[in-house]
Amino acid sequence: MKHVFFYISLIALCCHTIYAQVHLDSIQQLDEVIVSNKLLSTFSTGQKTLRLKDSILQQNPANLTDLLNFNTSIHFNQNGYGMVASPAFRGTTAQQTAVVWNGINISSQLNGQADFNTLLNPTMQQIKIQPGGGSVIYGTSAIGGSIHLESKLKFNNKSKHFFQTRYGSFNSLDSRYQFQKATEKWSFNFGLQHNSSDNDFPIHNDNRKNINGKFNNNSLGLDIAYKLNEKHQFKFFYWLFLGDRNLSVIRPSDIKSAYKNEDLRSLLEWEFQDEKWRSTLKMGYFNEAFTFIQNINRANESTSNLAETFLTQYNLQLEKDNWVFSALIDANLANASGDDLLEDRRNTAAFALLAKRKINQKWIVEGSLRQEISNLYDSTVLYTLGSDFRFSEHYLMKLNTSKNFRIPTFNDLFWGRSGNANLKPETAYQVEWGHHLSWKNIQFSATGFYNYIDNMIRWIPNENAVWQPVNTDQVRTYGAEIETSFSQKWNQHQLQWKANYAYTVSENRATGFQLRYVPFHKATTSLAYHFKKFTADTQFIYVGEVFTRSNNQANAVVQGYALQHLGLRYQLLSHSPKIDVGVRVFNLWNKEFQGIENRPMPGRYYQIQFNLIL
């Protein structure tokens, strides 16, 4: 039924004349908007937060993997282009990174992570990245950091149709339609997105193409807000993703498999706000289902699993004098069923208290506590302490420390005969110290971090040679992140430059070895030049070598690589409708590289782009 609804909507929309807009300027002036994650902006003292606006989202490829890989210090491990992509955030794992959608943690209940090649959301207009711990607010997984996907709802008596399509090498197609309509009382945001590719790129130094890599992804998004009066607002968010992809093989003789998944997320919100109080009630239902086909020639021989989550979150906040107080209550009921799970229930509840005080014009401090209760495990009290101190107009210092955690997933607890119901949550203690400088058109920040993780959950063979999850390693990660940007505008010219560098050590305390697939070095930079209706930009990324074995064998590494992309765009019409066309070259120098051992990535490939707005 979900498939029928999706394709009927897509056909209906294609029958209309659609217009879109491109934003040539990545520094975009936006109307005042209502967002659904005010806790992030209120309680993030001592931590840096990076914001990627909708103009940047429109200029980059459809999948979040490429967008975040080239614009942040987060490292991604990819099992081939379009395949499973997982982040290593400050040297942690994918399970230790929280993905937050409009204020709610949506990391998988089955495996504890999010595949960033399947996070296709056509109504998403802003991404925020917060390195470091965030478990007091966002719960499990927020150890390395959190990635926030946000919708923006406007009450501005305007309407907009946005259409974007990209077509490129390997028969790759990415199309997105978004319609926004707003009055003084209502705000409506609807979107459809399609992303597909034959993904049959040539393999370097091999007389063949990538085999069994075809994928086809579709997504639907719907956001609605109603303003009852100046104090009460109701919001509804809906996100449906349908994914169908084959899984690339290493050798032509390998058995060809496939993976299908359906993810449905819905969220209802009621917000009350006056001069001092803000009350927010959220109720949600999430459904994640997948089918794994071991052999595509025997599609009837498959494995399927399903997880359903019912959640309620209530936040009461008081602002008085120079204080902000907040009480947060979470209840989460998760059920799972399928071919590989022996049991199917995990219930959690949590209560958090947060406080923030502006001591004077220069100094802000913050503290918070969280206690979680579960039917399956015991959790200790979590905390966060943060401070911002502005020494001058140009220099801000941030300091933050926190205790965070990650709970065992359904797979960890109940996977066939291998699950371990006695697992403890992972706990982590982190501290970061940041320095932020700004002067005219120059921004610079440097942040040092340290993270100690205890009871890390790892799957290892037991005495019967059966792989099973156990609490084993103690891991520490530490390093530094540097970010800088510069912009200059003169006459009809504009120049923008951004760069970041991350040095990361992530080591097993018992052995001293670096964890697998965590690079010591990563650097990115981008440069954009605008003149009248013409825009040229280039992106560069360097990722150092990674070890593929836990004992850091020198001959078992994935070599480091450096890539460059180049893009050209031209605005054909600057009034309604606005029309923009462009071309992009990926991996400009046709470099051979891999993200995961024996998983080659494409060489040079191309993409043309067309955008309209009305």
| Domain assignments of the chain as residue spans, ordered by start | 2-172+277-613
Radius of gyration of the chain (CA): 24
Split at pLDDT 50, 70, 90, the class of 119 is confident
User: What does the alpha-carbon distance between residue 451 and residue 134 come to, in Å, rounded to a whole number?
Assistant: 13
Give the residue carrying structure tokens 């490129």: 168
DSSP string spanning 209-244? B--S--EEEEEEEEEEEEE-SSSEEEEEEEEEEEEE
Q: Is 301 exposed, middle or buried (0-12, 13-18, 19+ CB in 10 A)?
A: exposed
Collapse the DSSP code of 444 into the 3-class scheme (helix H, G, I; strand E, B; otherwise coil) and give the result: strand
Mean of per-residue pLDDT scores for the chain: 88
pLDDT computed for residue 58 by the predictor:
63
Asked whether the beta carbons of 595 and 558 are under 8 A apart, the reply is yes
Q: Is 587 left (phi over 0), alpha (psi -120 to 50) or beta?
A: left
In angstroms, the Cα distances linking 51 to 56, 218, 374, 396 are: 10, 26, 34, 18
DSSP state of 361: S
Collapse the DSSP code of 140 into the 3-class scheme (helix H, G, I; strand E, B; otherwise coil) and give the result: coil
Question: Helix and strand tally (H, E) in the chain?
Answer: 6, 33
Tokens of 113: 């992570």
Collapse the DSSP code of 308 into the 3-class scheme (helix H, G, I; strand E, B; otherwise coil) and give the result: strand
For the chain, the residue count is 614
pLDDT per residue as tens digits for the range 47-106: 998 888 666 666 665 678 888 998 899 999 888 888 888 888 899 988 899 999 999 999
pLDDT above 70: residue 23? no
pLDDT computed for residue 26 by the predictor:
35
pLDDT computed for residue 3 by the predictor:
43
pLDDT per residue as tens digits for the range 552-601: 999 999 999 999 999 999 999 888 889 999 999 999 999 999 988 889 99
Asked whether the beta carbons of 301 and 262 are under 8 A apart, the reply is no
pLDDT above 70: residue 481? yes
Which strand (E) or helix (H) includes residue 82?
none
pTM of the model: 0.90
pLDDT per residue as tens digits for the range 263-311: 999 999 999 999 899 999 999 999 999 999 999 988 788 889 899 999 9
User: What does the alpha-carbon distance between residue 75 and residue 520 come to, in Å, rounded to a whole number?
Assistant: 10
pLDDT computed for residue 416 by the predictor:
73
pLDDT computed for residue 274 by the predictor:
92
pLDDT computed for residue 391 by the predictor:
96
2-172+277-613: CATH class: mainly beta
pLDDT above 60: residue 250? yes
pLDDT above 70: residue 409? yes
pLDDT above 70: residue 367? yes
pLDDT computed for residue 343 by the predictor:
62
pLDDT computed for residue 471 by the predictor:
85
Neighbouring residues of 319: CB distance < 8 A, sequence distance ≥ 6: 276, 277, 278
